Amino acid sequence: MSTPSVAATPVATAWQRRVKAVPRGLWGVADQGVVSLANFATPVLIGRYGGQEELGLYTLGLSVYLFVYAMARSLVWTPYTKHAPAIDANDLPSYTGSVSFHLAAYGAVSAAAILGAAGIALAAGQTQLAAVLAVVAPVSAAMLLREHVRRLGMAKLDFVGVLVFDLVVAALQLSAMLSLAASGMMSADRAFLALAVTSLASFGWIALNHREFCFKRENWTPDWRKNWSLSKWLAAAACLVTLGNQGYRWVLPALAGIAELGRLGAAQVMAQLTNPVVIGLSNYLAPVTAKVLAEEGLVALYRTTLRVTLSMLVGIVLFLLLVGLVGVPLVELLLADAARGVTTTLLVTLTAGALSEALLIPVQAATVNRGHSHTIFYTALARLAINLTLGFGLVGIYGAEAIGVGMVIGSAIALAWQWIEFTGEVRRA
C-alpha cells in the first residue's frame, strides 16, 4: 500500500514546479480568456437565436449589472486587494470574512434598489424595462458572488485556482446558453436566469475553501471603516464614470427604441474580443503594482506603468485597424440578422471608446496604490461632465455612432491628468 503514495509524490511535485514556472500574468490572461469566451458567446447566441430586440434587452440589463459590479469593485474588492497582502496570515481569514459580509450586504441592497426601479418602471408603463429589471435584481446578486470568489483568489495571486473555478463555471454557462439556443427558447430574461444559476457554483468553491473565512461580527464595522478610507473616493469615481458610460445604454432606447440598443450590443462584440488581454491585465496589475511599489519603490512603479501603457497603446492602434478592415463582415457572420445596421464607423468608434478606458488601467492601478484615490474621483467628474454634455449631445445628433467619441475624449482627459500628476510626484521624489 505504501508504493502508490511514494510514487505519487514526485509527480505532484513536478506538476507544481511546472505550474510555478509559468508567469502569473499568463495564468491571469488565460483565466480571463476563459471568462471572456463565455461572456462573448452569450450575447452572440442571444442575438443570433433571439434577435436584435432580445439582444437590446440583454444589453440594457447587463448595463445595470455593470453599474452594480463597478460599485462592488470599488467598495469591496479593490480595498481588499490593496490591504490583504499586508495583513498577518492569522488575521486574514477574519478580514476575508468581513469583506464577504460587506459584499453580501451590498448585493442585497443593490437587488432591492433594482427591484424598486422595476416597480417605478412598471408604474410608468414601461413594462419591458420593468421585466428586465425584475430579472436582473436577483441575477446581479448571484453574479456578484461569482466575481467575489474570483477576486479573493486573485488578491492572493492564486491565478491557477481561479482558472480552475472559471473553467467549471464557464462550461456550465456555455452549456446553458447552447441549450436555450437549441431548444428555441433563447431570450434575454432566460439568459440572465441561466447566468444566475451557473454562478451558484460559487458555493462549491466557498465550501472547499471554508478555512479561508472567519466571520467575526465585531470586526465587520472596523474593517469597513478601514476600507472606506480608500473606497469612498473609488466608489464615487466608479459611480460617475459608470453613469456616464452606461448612461448611453439607458438613453439610447428612449431616443431610438430597444432595437437600436440591440445594434449597439452587436457592435460591442468587437471590443469584447480584447477582454482576455485587457481585463486579464487589469486583474494582474492591481496586486502586482502594489508589490512593485512596496518592494522596489516609486520609480520602479513609474517605469512598469509606463512600459505597460505604451505596449497597450500600440496594441490598441493595431486592433482598431483590424476592426476597420474586417469588423463588419465578422459581426455579420457571428450575429446574422441581429447585426443589421452595424457599420464600420460604429464599430471603430465604439471599440475605440472601450479601449480608451482600458488604457487607463495601468495608471489607475498605480494611482490607487500610491494612495491618490481622490485623483480618480476628480478625473471621473471631468469624464462625466464630458459625457453628459458633449457625449450625449453628439448621440442626440448622430445616434449610437457618436457614443465612442465622448468616451475617447473623457478617457484622454483622465489619462493626461493622472500621468501629469504621477510624473510630477516622481520628479519630486
More confident residue, 126 or 352: 352
Under 8 Å between Cβ of 229 and 95: no
Q: How high is the pLDDT of residue 8? A: 46
Please give the average per-residue pLDDT across 10-27, as a whole number.
Answer: 56
In three-state secondary structure terms, 273 is: coil
Enter the DSSP assignment of 181: H
Average pLDDT over residues 225-246: 84
Are 336 and 48 within 8 A, CB to CB? yes
Res 6: pLDDT: 46
Report d(CA 198, CA 400) in Å as an integer: 32
C-alpha–C-alpha distance, residues 350 and 408, integer Å: 9
The cell numbers describing 206, all together, are 466557498
User: What's the grid cell of residue 271?
Assistant: 471590443
Which band of pLDDT confidence, cut at 50, 70 and 90, is reported for residue 17? low
- Which are the contacts of 373, defined by CB distance < 8 A and separation ≥ 6? 230, 231, 232, 233, 234, 237, 367
Residue pair 400/381 in contact by the 8 Å Cβ criterion: no
Tell me which DSSP letter residue 185 carries: -
pLDDT of residue 310 exceeding 90, the answer is yes
The predicted pLDDT at position 292 comes to 85
Maximum average pLDDT range among 144-158, 182-196, 236-250, 376-390: 182-196
pLDDT at 37 over 60: yes
State the average pLDDT for the chain.
85
Distance CA 247, CA 341 (A): 22
Q: What mean pLDDT comes out for the span 84-97?
A: 84
- Residue 193, pLDDT > 90, answer yes
With a cut of 90, say whether residue 336 has pLDDT above it. Answer: no
CA distances from 423 to 205, 310, 370 (A): 42, 15, 12
Closest by CA to 284, choosing from 150, 411, 418, 102, is 150
pLDDT for 3 beyond 70: no
pTM of the shown model:
0.78
Please report the pLDDT score of residue 413 as a whole number.
Answer: 92
CA 334, CA 371: separation in Å to the nearest integer?
44
The span from the first CA to the last CA of the chain, in angstroms, equals 63
Confidence of residue 2 (pLDDT cuts 50, 70, 90): very low
The backbone torsions φ and ψ at residue 403, rounded to the nearest 5 degrees and listed phi first, read -60, -45
For the chain, what percent of residues have pLDDT higher than 70? 93
Length of the chain: 429
112 has pLDDT over 90: yes
- pLDDT of 277 above 90: no
pLDDT bracket for residue 387 (50, 70, 90): confident
- 126-130, 298-302, 308-312: the lowest-pLDDT one: 126-130
Return d(Cα 182, Cα 45) in angstroms, integer. 10
- Measured CA to CA, the distance from residue 63 to residue 132 in angstroms comes to 11
Angstrom distance (rounded) from CA 103 to CA 105: 5
Nearest to 148 by CA among 220, 221, 90, 75: 75
Contact between 108 and 221 (Cβ < 8 Å): no
Return d(Cα 124, Cα 146) in angstroms, integer.
33
Of 4-13, 157-166, 265-274, 334-343, give the lowest mean pLDDT range. 4-13
How would you classify residue 340: left for phi > 0, otherwise alpha for psi between -120 and 50, otherwise beta?
A: beta
Instruction: Evaluate if residue 323 carries a pLDDT over 90.
Output: yes
Report d(CA 3, CA 279) in Å as an integer.
45
Answer for the pair 429, 298: CB distance below 8 angstroms, yes or no. yes
Q: Residue 418 has what DSSP assignment? A: H
